[in-house]
Structure 1
Amino acid sequence: MSGAFIRIKLIEVKFPLLKYNFLNEPSPSVNIKEKENTPGGFEYIQKKKTFFPDWGRCFDSHIHEGRRMQIIIMDPPETPVSQVTVDLTTLAEHYRSDSTGNAVKLALDLTPSGQIIIQVKVYGDKGEDECIAESQPFVPSSELPKNATALRGRRGAIKLGNANEVQGHLFLKKFFRQPVYCSLCHEFIWGFGKEGWQCKQCAYVVHGRCLNLILSKCPKAAKNNQNTIFLKERFKLDVPHIFSVHSFSSLTFCELCGQVLWGLFRQGMQCEVCGVTCHRRCKSDMPNLCGVNQKLLAEALLVIKSQKHSTKGKNTNEDQEENNIDDKVIRSKMPLPDLPPHDTDNRQFPGSKDNPSALPKFKLDDFDLVKLLGKGSFGKVFLAQLNGSTQYYAIKALKKDVVLEDDDVECTMIEKNTLSIASECIFLTHLHSTFQSLSHLFFVMEFLNGGDLMFHIQLSARFPEPRATFYAAEIVCGLQFLHSKSIVYRDLKLDNVLLDSQGHVKIADFGMCKEGISQNHLTSTFCGTPDYIAPEIIQGKLYGVSVDWWSFGVLCYEMLIGQSPFQGEDEDELFHSICNDSIDYPRWLSKDAINLVDKLLQRIPDQRIGCTEQIEPLRHHVFFRTIDWNLLENLKVQPPFKPKVRSSNDVGNFDADFTIEPPNLTPSDERIIQEMLQSEFDGFSFTNPNYKT
């Protein structure tokens, strides 16, 4: 039992009709507690931080006697609604009592009301063939590195947007699905046409146009801003509110987070002096500006500041203003040319021909969705057949509202641009076309029915060294091609490396790519899949292609050993391990493999192999001594493993958790579609003239 772990997926929550009216979509939080002996008996203690899994995404936990899981359903951001606590051993027994070996769905009753549907599956039991293949010798835990943790299944990538710092607030762009008040001007922010920003520390909400008018310091900021000190000394702006619980007879909004104060009575807090309102949870974060109108004061300060600068060169400015007025009058009298019809499909892209209009354009009705291949926070991937042909494709569907909400329009365009040049490299997934509907964006790509490396390593525990060497060599070719185009990939992992029907590697999913990267042009965005993130990203440093070679080192370690090189119960522990822990290797691993992984996992980027091509070319490393790179790049090297593929539409190499679900698009709210600014996606639709069937 000590090596067993349980994989849990939270599917949905159900509440009796009208039992609770959620302001936002309910979200789960999970606490793992351990049974500890105490002088009075025993108690359950939470040793690790609470984590917040996404609906439909898996997480894992080792099964120990006395370990239990508490699931709390929240009305975001922090209002608990219902909860349930269950022993992990109880969930494991429910799974073992099912003779099919498939994941089991369970319904857990919530307190005080409601029901949560979860899915569980146990791995690592003695005789569990999904984790240990017959062809692979079992490696006892004593032979594994002490810091290694089992590959816990599919791990989602993360990306943190760049924060806009104002007065200590760290503002992130945000789309609000329901009306909220701007905390500064008290006007509504709602819909895709309205730009909203929210402080990720104190939840303060403002329009984009109001950002530069904020005078109050973020109460959770670690430093005093010079403007704040000036305002305190000059205007004595440090007057705390006097709050008391209040019942409101009409719809009222919190003047910090902008959301509605729900309830029939005693809905929130109100200042007895100036009448400002807020949630109880927001009270401690309200700025000490009792009786102050921030907007009017900020505008007055701007006028004073502009008047100081206007005394110099007054006559020159007046002459210039007159000239500008004359120019405006002249331009206003000139007839404007007729604008061409709005067309989003006829723009030029890398690899396109001189006459793109001659290429066929596609839409969803041209395809029949056959199976669901995968899904996640990014959207869904379907197996689809082109109508009137025998050709099958993989279609990735992204919801436009999610793309806009996450501020990922630019990333989506970069993904399309990267896919459009991927046809030049046989080790990258090739793009057939892209198109859009009112609610979704669609990427049509070649269907690689060999499955991904995560699927195969879960069947065989680890790969023999010759097989891992072959995969590593083809991945090197793919990464070096991207780097030659000044593109950093940033999300290399087992899940994103697919096999074709012959067993050759194809790198997929370019949603994290960044263009224009060179030694003189670096980036600093925090993104990637936590287990694979390089130390320089965690430390907030500028980085380039070095992060791909770190991820490649982690991937090589996982292929060769079947474990992750770094461990942590939560992201903080994992990131500390990545930045500080030494890497252990089992005794049976070859010296050449250890040497390669060791050089890839150098924490100083300039010393990392892959970044030292002038001194030590990666392809010349002794680990690749059996590889003829010329033959490899022409697909003339026989793959050491050929996936079992019965037909061109066979989905046997994909997770049954997905393929058993109906292949349906996730619908979007019609109201949200009407609010959406469709021009944000101009230029997305594209047909690849270089695609070969």
Structure 2
Amino acid sequence: MEGGPAVCCQDPRTELVERVAAIDVAHLEETDGSPEPTRNCVDPPPRARAVSVIPGSALRHPAARPSLSARKFSLQERPAGSCLEAQAGPYATGPASHISPRAWRRPTIESHHVAISDAEDCVQLNQYKLQSEIGKGAYGVVRLAYNESEDRHYAMKVLSKKKLLKQYGFPRRPPPRGSQAAQGGPAKQLLPLERVYQEIAILKKLDHVNVVKLFEVLDDPAEDNLYLVFDLLRKGPVMEVPCDKPFPEEQARLYLRDIILGLEYLHYQKIIHRDIKPSNLLLGDDGHVKIADFGVSNQFEGNDAQLSSTAGTPAFMAPEAISDSGQSFSGKALDVWATGVTLYCFVYGKCPFIDDYILALHRKIKNEAVVFPEEPKVSEELKDLILKMLDKNPETRIGVPDIKLHPWVTKNGEEPLPSEEEHCSVVEVTEEEVKNSVKLIPSWTTVERRVWRRR
């Protein structure tokens, strides 16, 4: 949009197609030549996610990137920078008196008005005014969306349905719970896009303080786009890696407690995230860390997912996921490994295994032992937990229930985490909910014609 016309001066279809076509760009761009907003001293993240800063926040010029290869950017998360400083005040999951992280969430929004605004700085999509682009990723762009009736901003992902239907997109789950297949009857064969809608129906009902909330999904049946409306998290990622100022050990402990509760909730809902890392952990206004970005997630039936494909960020992949054995591997253990790498990042500001080349990185992950730097000093209890989470054998790797009981996590039992029963309840979806999981909207051509006639 630099040096270009205002959004509404362009053909809306062309404008959105151009944005989706540009989704492989792995960094944020400045809008209209102005400096990018920062998120509490954290540079805006490179991937699309449900987060940004409202225009009008404090601004600064982005720091110059170090001279690193594009490959290195793909293996790790970000160029060197500072971390989000620890937040002052009591933390919700810290005190032993904390009972349950569940919070009231309002039901999914539905709207019946479709129009394109005459405004010079936005496109209107239903009740949302689409404003500046705030992120890009593998499946689409993220735009700031304003709901005037609520006086509230959201993050709207504009996703390509074609890309979602590929190997690393949404539609990788078994028949819906409660279906004939689950009751022993014949499984219903779903079309690819029906599987996408089924997945969305599950994601819309996820309700946990440590998981980013999906509010609404809009679908233009004549176009390639899906529009996903997420909660907007103003503070951004909890950390960008590598980082010059890692967290104090206590702050890392509090953040890990949130991550473990969110992960336990996802596993309870039979969802494997597959891409846990600091830039996919967003800090909400309530001080809670929330798990985001389900672009490569899997759902499963039974006790655990048995996976065989590779997905996620290279530096956070488990040894079994990059093995040449061809054997399937546990999804839950995969998430624990990535959380262990994340915990290491929290206290050291970098990944435990680093290399510029993918094959060398894989070799280190599979063969080299975890090394703890001399600085900063961390407790032996923390080192013990990291080693158990980064056990190269998924069969003996510590699981989420045991992480919750680890002495470092609970301060030797003084601050226990809530039980699974206290903060988890199963999400069931009906056929009707799958059918209504996406709000259909007229094609841009139809809407443009209506707007032209009103003029």
Normalising TM by the smaller chain, what interval? 0.5 to 0.7
Letter in 2 for 1:428: V
> Aligned-pair distance for 1:511?
1.7
Match of 1:217 in 2: none
Partner of 1:498: 282
Q: 1:585 aligns with which of 331, 351, 372?
A: 372
Alignment of 1:542 onto 2:335: no
Residue 380 of structure 1: aligned partner:
141
Match for 2:354 among 539, 564, 567? 567
Total equivalences in the alignment: 304
Q: Pick from 488, 499, 513 the counterpart of residue 272 of structure 2.
A: 488
Which residue of structure 2 aligns with residue 266 of structure 1?
A: none
The alpha-carbon distance between structure 1 residues 430 and 607, as it changes in their structure 2 partners (threshold 3 A), is same
Report 1:125-524 matches (<5 A): 130-131=81-82, 359-361=110-112, 364-404=125-165, 408=169, 410-411=171-172, 412-413=196-197, 415-423=199-207, 425-437=208-220, 438-455=223-240, 461-519=245-303, 522-524=306-308
| d(CA) in 1 for partners of 2:238, 2:439 | 29
Counterparts of 2:165 and 2:422 in 1: how far apart (Å)?
A: 40
What is the distance in 2 between the residues matched to 1:555 and 1:528? 13
Find the partner of 2:312 among 508, 525, 528.
528
Secondary structure at the counterpart of residue 373 of structure 1: strand
Counterpart residue number, 1:3: none
CA distance, structure 2, for counterparts of residue 395 and residue 426 of structure 1 = 20
Secondary structure in 2 aligned to 1:528?
Answer: coil
- Percent identical pairs in the alignment equals 27
Alpha-carbon contact 1:497-1:508 (below 8 Å) kept: yes
- 2:214/2:230 contact within 8 Å kept: yes
Q: 1:57 aligns with which of 15, 20, 26?
A: 26
Please state how far the C-alpha of 1:515 moved relative to its aligned partner. 1.1
CA distance in 1, matches of 2:198, 2:367: 33
- Taking only aligned residues, the RMSD between alpha carbons, in angstroms, comes to 3.7
The residue identity in structure 2 corresponding to 1:629 is: L
Q: Does 1:598 align with 2:381?
A: no
CA deviations 1:142-192 (Å, max 9, x no partner) are xxxxxxxxxxxxxxxxxxxxxxxxxxxxxxxxxxxxxxxxxxxxxxxxxxx
Give 1:373's aligned amino acid: I
Partner secondary structure for residue 395 of structure 1: strand
Q: 1:407 to 1:132 in 2, by over 3 A?
A: closer
With normalisation by structure 1, the TM-score equals: 0.40
Q: Cα–Cα, structure 1 residues 460 and 630, in superposed 2: closer, same or farther, change >3 Å?
A: farther
Cα gap change, 1:593/1:633 in structure 2, threshold over 3 Å: closer, same or farther?
farther
**CA distance in structure 1 between the partners assigned to 2:345 and 2:263 by the alignment:** 18
Residues 488 and 632 of structure 1: CA distance in aligned 2, closer, same or farther (over 3 Å)? closer
Q: Secondary structure at the match of 1:475?
A: helix
Higher relative contact order (CA 8 A, sep 6+): 2
Higher percent of residues as strand: 1
- C-alpha distance in 1, partners of 2:233/2:85? 26
Change (3 A) 1:459 1:528: closer
In structure 2, stretches of 5+ residues that fail to align are 1-22, 28-59, 66-77, 87-104, 115-124, 173-195, 424-433, 441-455
Shift of 1:131: 3.6
Counterparts of 1:521 and 1:632, CA distance in 2: 19
Equivalent AA in structure 2 for residue 389 of structure 1: E
Q: 1:683 to 1:407 in 2, by over 3 A?
A: farther
Report the AA paired with residue 129 of structure 2.
D
Residues 580, 492 of structure 1: alpha-carbon distance in 2 compared, 3 angstrom cutoff: same
Q: Structure 2: how far apart are the matches of 1:632 and 1:480?
A: 7
> Any unmatched runs of 5+ in structure 1?
1-53, 59-98, 105-121, 125-129, 136-350, 636-680, 688-693
The CA deviation at 1:365 is: 3.6
| 8 Å Cα contact 1:133-1:460 kept in structure 2 | no
Higher-Rg structure is 1
The Cα shift of 1:570 comes to 1.3
Q: CA deviation at 1:132?
A: 7.9
Deviation at 1:501, TM superposition (A): 1.4
